[in-house]
């Protein structure tokens, strides 16, 4: 996606963009930003309409007038996946994996996810420091290992797998030579691609009971199967779409629960964690914005959007819109109803939502059970380096064990 709007370019602004969103919802709910060459849309009703109308607002970046081939090598592969395809191709591609992510299939993974969360916490709580980093010690490794297990990556390769995944989600930064960054990315992508190509060949030859086998053997509507590149793109999409987002959901939840003194309450009533996580998805949405391209001239409020224009739908702002949510800037852990757009809406509604919800609730249940107190250490929070993902790079907490 294009760079940040100028208004959010400072660290402070991106850590707390919500006042700016409010101003924009009131004064310029649909505005054109000449410096990025795209439209920004801030109100709930408009964001929902854009995500729900893929005839008018396409996910295909190639339709944009100012489209340029991406610098990051894996993006080209991603453009062939469901995330960047409109129906009917989208539905066909999503159909290759969607049953594996249905709530019933995902519920069956709970014991494994719990074991993994417990192991990670046992390690993190082992050395009696009384401090841990929520991101590095817990929220980051959990989803990477879960998706590796689902795909069928053997246990002994998971560390390597995690390192590739780290590199792929890393963004370039001002103090990083772009060339060195691109080289690292290319190297990781090549290694990971050749690893996956081997796995793909192996599962074609002798399918097993894992997601990789499903990705390579499932028939498409015309009886064909995904090409090697198609299968690889799907794997990378699952990694990229599922890991950093879930990490930030868990981290943002710890921030919210601490800020609102909820840990004791949630320890006493773990069943309330699920609903509190929905409120985190609304209040500090791990994905703040999604991009679309207008496929025809369209008027939104008083804005004349032209075919080929890029449109950024600000989920993070929609989720704070007073027109939809009473007391929208308050964190209400048992908010109901809570029709947030944290997982998107419509055709591209998050495939991994049931998995993300399960991982986050198990992670927070275990964190609550195994500690008697938690407080975030007053640290200089650094926002995640991404114009789309919202969270912090690291979140140190002090705890007492239960």
What are the residues binding ligand HEM (CB under 6 A)? 51, 59, 82-83, 94, 147, 237-238, 241-242, 245-246, 249, 286-287, 290, 342-344, 348, 350-352, 355-356
CA 396, CA 402: separation in Å to the nearest integer? 18
Question: Minimum distance between the CB of residue 128 and ligand HEM, rounded to whole angstroms?
Answer: 31
Closest to ligand HEM by CB, 60 vs 373, is 60
Closest to ligand HEM by CB, 266 vs 287, is 287
Question: Minimum distance between the CB of residue 315 and ligand HEM, rounded to whole angstroms?
Answer: 6
Q: Are 367 and 359 in contact (CB under 8 A)?
A: no
Q: Which helix (H) or strand (E) holds 355?
A: helix 353-369
| Alpha helices in 16-109, H assignment, sequence order | 18-27, 44-52, 73-78, 89-97, 103-107
Q: Are 375 and 365 in contact (CB under 8 A)?
A: no
Closest to ligand HEM by CB, 275 vs 398, is 275
Q: 276: number of CA atoms within 13 Å, CB side?
A: 26
Question: Minimum distance between the CB of residue 290 and ligand HEM, rounded to whole angstroms?
Answer: 4
Question: Minimum distance between the CB of residue 126 and ligand HEM, rounded to whole angstroms?
Answer: 27
Closest to ligand HEM by CB, 238 vs 328, is 238
Question: Minimum distance between the CB of residue 91 and ligand HEM, rounded to whole angstroms?
Answer: 8
Please state whether beta strands 303-305 and 30-33 pair in parallel, antiparallel, or not at all (unpaired). unpaired
CA-wise closest residue to 371 among 292, 217, 277, 254: 254
Closest to ligand HEM by CB, 125 vs 147, is 147
Closest to ligand HEM by CB, 125 vs 362, is 362
Closest to ligand HEM by CB, 36 vs 94, is 94
Q: What are phi and psi of 240, to 5 degrees?
A: -75, -40
Question: Minimum distance between the CB of residue 284 and ligand HEM, rounded to whole angstroms?
Answer: 10
Question: Minimum distance between the CB of residue 348 and ligand HEM, rounded to whole angstroms?
Answer: 4
Burial of 401 (0-12, 13-18, 19+ CB in 10 A): exposed
CA 340, CA 342: separation in Å to the nearest integer? 6
């Amino acid at each position: 996606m294009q760079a940040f709007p100028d208004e959010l370019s400072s660290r402070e602004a991106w850590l707390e963009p919500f006042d700016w969103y409010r101003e924009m919802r009131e004064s310029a709910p649909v505005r054109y930003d000449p410096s990025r060459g795209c439209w920004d849309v801030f109100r709930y009703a408009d964001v929902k309409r854009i995500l729900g109308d893929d005839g008018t607002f396409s996910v295909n970046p190639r339709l944009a007038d100012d489209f340029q081939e991406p610098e990051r090598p894996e993006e080209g592969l991603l453009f062939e996946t469901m995330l960047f395809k409109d129906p009917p191709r989208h539905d066909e591609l999503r159909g290759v994996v969607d049953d594996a992510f249905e709530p019933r299939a995902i519920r069956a993974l709970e014991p494994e996810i719990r074991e993994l969360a417990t192991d990670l916490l046992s390690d993190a709580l082992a050395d009696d420091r009384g401090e841990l980093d929520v991101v590095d010690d817990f929220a980051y490794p959990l989803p990477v290992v879960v998706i590796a297990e689902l795909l069928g990556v053997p246990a002994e390769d998971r560390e390597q797998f995690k390192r590739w995944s780290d590199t792929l989600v890393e963004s370039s930064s001002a103090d990083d030579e772009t060339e060195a960054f691109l080289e690292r990315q290319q190297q990781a992508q090549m290694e990971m691609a050749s690893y996956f190509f081997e796995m793909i060949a192996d599962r074609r030859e002798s399918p097993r009971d894992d997601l990789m086998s499903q990705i390579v053997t499932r028939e498409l509507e015309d009886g064909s199967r995904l090409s090697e590149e198609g299968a690889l793109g799907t794997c990378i999409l699952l990694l990229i779409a599922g890991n950093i987002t879930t990490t930030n959901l868990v981290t943002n939840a710890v921030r919210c629960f601490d800020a609102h003194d909820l840990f004791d309450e949630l320890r006493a009533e773990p069943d309330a964690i699920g609903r509190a996580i929905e409120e985190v998805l609304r209040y500090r949405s791990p994905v703040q914005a999604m991009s679309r391209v207008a496929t025809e001239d369209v008027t939104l409020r008083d804005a004349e959007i032209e075919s080929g224009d890029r449109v950024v739908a600000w989920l993070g702002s929609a989720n704070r819109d007073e027109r939809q949510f009473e007391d929208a800037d308050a964190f209400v852990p048992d908010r109901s109803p809570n029709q947030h757009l944290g997982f998107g809406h419509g055709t591209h509604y998050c495939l991994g939502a049931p998995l993300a919800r399960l991982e986050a609730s198990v992670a927070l249940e275990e964190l609550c059970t195994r500690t008697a107190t938690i407080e975030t250490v007053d640290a200089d929070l650094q926002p995640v380096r991404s114009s789309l993902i919202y969270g912090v790079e690291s979140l140190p907490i002090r705890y007492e064990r239960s």
